[in-house]
Amino acid sequence: MRRLRVTAPLRFRPAGLAATPVARGGSTGAVGRGSRLLRDPVLLVLSLLLAITLLAFLAGVTPYPFGVLVLLILVVARVLYRS
């Protein structure tokens, strides 16, 4: 009898797609994405402005949360751009 050698574990994808070999430990290389987003100065400034706007609205300083939708769209766009 012949023995089969397995070089890497297989991760099966749904819907009948072919199996993809994955490195040991199951890492797909997407681990560093979060730390890269935390070091983005534009994203940090946009997130800080969004937080200040929401806090000012909740504290009663402004009657309406001005620019929340615009800031939220900019934050989402920046995250998608960096990903």
- Amino acid at site 52: I
Whether the pTM exceeds 0.75: the reply is no
Q: What is the mean pLDDT of residues 20-49?
A: 72
Determine, yes or no, domain membership for 27.
yes
- What percent of the chain has pLDDT above 90? 45
Determine, yes or no, domain membership for 1.
no
The pairing of beta strand 10-11 with beta strand 20-21? antiparallel
Q: Is the pLDDT of residue 35 over 70?
A: yes
Determine, yes or no, domain membership for 5.
no
Determine, yes or no, domain membership for 58.
yes
Q: Is the pLDDT of residue 65 over 70?
A: yes
Determine, yes or no, domain membership for 4.
no
Q: Which tokens hold the place of 21?
A: 């070999």
Q: Is the pLDDT of residue 18 over 90?
A: no
pLDDT at position 66: 86
Q: Which domain holds residue 50?
A: 10-82
Q: What total of structural domains would you count in the chain? A: 1
- What percent of the chain has pLDDT above 70? 60
Q: Which tokens hold the place of 43?
A: 């994203």
